[in-house]
Structure 1
Amino acid sequence: MTAGYVEGSPVFSGLSLSFGRTGLVHVRGGNGTGKSTLVELCSGYLVPWQGTVRVGGLDANSPAARAGRRICRTQPALYPDMTVRDHIVFTSRCRGAAPDGGLDRAVRLGLGPWLDHAAKTLSTGNTRKLWYVICTLGSFGCAVLDEPFNGIDQEGVEKIAGELSLWGADRLVLLISHTLPAALTVTDECVLDRDLRSGESWH
C-alpha cells in the first residue's frame, strides 16, 4: 500500500500491515513515521494511492466499515456551546445506541459534575475525556485511538486503560501512545519506522 498527502512524497510506500480481529495492539514510532497517517487510512478519509485498506474485511472508506469502527483522533472536535450531556445523547442517537451507557462511562471518568456544562467551559483534561467517550460510543469491532491519555489525570488514565484492556478481549484496538499506563494489558506491538514505511511487512 502506498499513501500520502503530497504527490511524489508518500508517507508509506509498499507498506503491508495485517492485524487480527481481536487484541490490543500498541502502535508506536518516532515523529514522522506515519502514526497519524495510519489513523487516517483506517478512518477511510485518506484513500491510498495504491493498494487497499480494509477494516473488518471491508474497504475502509465504505459506509459499512464506518459503522463498525471508532476513530479517536488526538485533537478534540466538540460543539463549544453544547453540554457534555447533549454531546453524549446526540452522538449515541447517531450511533443507534442508548445514551445511558455513555453517560455512565462519563460519570465513571469523573465528568458527573460537568454533565450540564458547555464544552467550552471544560478543562483540557475533561475535554479530552468527553472526546474519548463520544468517539467510542455504541457497538463496534475496531477502535483506533491516537494518544488518548494526553492531558488526563491518573485516575482517568487508569479507567480508560481498563476499558481498552476489556475491549481487546473481543475486538481489535489499535492504540497509538508514546507511553503506556501500567494498568493496560497489551497483546501485541507494532513499531513504525523508516524501514517499515518503505516496504517491510508486519503481521
Structure 2
Amino acid sequence: MPSLSSEPPHLEFASVLAGYDRGQPVFSELSFALRAPGLVRIAGPNGSGKSTLLELVSGFLAPFEGEVRISGTIAHSPQARFLRSVCRTAPALYPSMTARDHLAFAARCRRTGLSPLLERAERYRLGDWLEAPAAELSTGNQRKLWLLACTALPTPVAILDEPFNGMDDHGVAALVGELAEWARSRLVLLIAHALPDGLNPRQTVDLEG
C-alpha cells in the first residue's frame, strides 16, 4: 500500500476560478475548507457545478486561478493520486473483463490487496457474479462493481457522484453502512439529489445555480 499524507484529511478550495472555458467559468472565487472526519453532501440544481467540483477534486481539471488542495497537496499533482478516491456517475467498465478481473485490476492500480475487495463484493451480493463479464451484469451490479473498483483504496478523501443510481435495496443499504463507517475517520463528499434513509451528513455544501 502506498504511503499516504501525514496531514489530517482535508480539502481546500482557495479563490478558485475554474471551468471548461476561461471566458465562461463555472466557479469564480470559490473558497471553502472541509476537514475530516465526516460525510458532506454536495447539493445544487443541475448546472450548478457539482460535476465540475468533482473533476477539480479528481485532478482531471485544473483551475485557471487559485488552488485545490487535498490534505495539503495540489489536487492535480501526481502526488495527490493516492490521497483521494473518485466515483463518477457513469460506470466505465471493460465489457469482456470479468467482475473479478476488474477488482484485481483496480487493486493493482491502487497498490492494495484484492482480498478486502472480494469481501466487500460479498457484502454487496456481487459474489455470485465475479466470473461474469461486465457486459452481462445487470445495471445494478455494474454500479456495484464500479463503486468497488473506484474505492479500492481507503484514501483520506473520497468523492462519489450519485452512487445510488440504479442500485438495488441491498446495495443501497451496504453503501449507506460503508459511508457511515468511512465518515468516522475520513472526509467523504457525496453528490446526491436525494438521500436514502439512514444517511445523515454532518453538513451540506449547496452550490447555487
The aligned counterpart of 1:50 is: 65
The aligned counterpart of 2:125 is: 110
Contact 1:69 1:141 in 2 (8 A): yes
The aligned counterpart of 1:159 is: 174
Q: Answer yes or no: is 1:91 the counterpart of 2:109.
A: no
Q: Deviations over 1:108-133 (max 9, x none)?
A: 11111110000011111110100000
Moved more, 91-100 or 129-138: 91-100
The aligned counterpart of 1:125 is: 140
Match 1:69 to one of 70, 84, 95: 84
Q: Answer yes or no: is 1:170 the counterpart of 2:185.
A: yes
Task: Measure how far apart 1:70 and its partner are.
Answer: 0.2
Partner Cα distance (1:4, 1:36) in 2: 10
Partner Cα distance (1:13, 1:52) in 2: 12
Gaps of 5+ in 2: 1-15
The aligned counterpart of 2:205 is: 190
Q: Secondary structure at the match of 2:26?
A: strand
Q: Answer yes or no: is 1:17 the counterpart of 2:59.
A: no
Q: TM-score, normalised by structure 1?
A: 0.93
Partner Cα distance (2:198, 2:103) in 1: 26
The one-letter code matched in structure 2 to 1:116 is: E
The one-letter code matched in structure 2 to 1:167 is: W
Q: Which of structure 1's runs of 4+ aligned residues deviate more than 3 A?
A: none
Q: Answer yes or no: is 1:4 the counterpart of 2:19.
A: yes
Partner Cα distance (1:114, 1:189) in 2: 36
Task: Measure how far apart 1:69 and its partner are.
Answer: 0.6
Moved more, 158-167 or 61-70: 61-70
Q: Answer yes or no: is 1:78 the counterpart of 2:96.
A: no
The aligned counterpart of 2:42 is: 27
Query: Could you say what the CA RMSD is over the residues aligned between the two structures, in angstroms?
Result: 0.9
Contact 2:85 2:153 in 1 (8 A): no
Contact 1:27 1:177 in 2 (8 A): yes
The percentage of aligned residue pairs carrying the same residue is 52
Task: Measure how far apart 1:98 and its partner are.
Answer: 1.2
Q: Deviations over 1:70-123 (max 9, x none)?
A: 000001111111100011011112211110100111111111111000001111
Task: Measure how far apart 1:17 and its partner are.
Answer: 1.8
Partner Cα distance (1:97, 1:23) in 2: 24
Number of residue pairs the alignment of both structures matches: 194
Q: Secondary structure at the match of 2:42?
A: strand
Task: Measure how far apart 1:49 and its partner are.
Answer: 0.5
The aligned counterpart of 1:136 is: 151
The one-letter code matched in structure 2 to 1:101 is: P
Gaps of 5+ in 1: 195-203
Partner Cα distance (1:114, 1:54) in 2: 38
Q: TM-score, normalised by structure 2?
A: 0.90
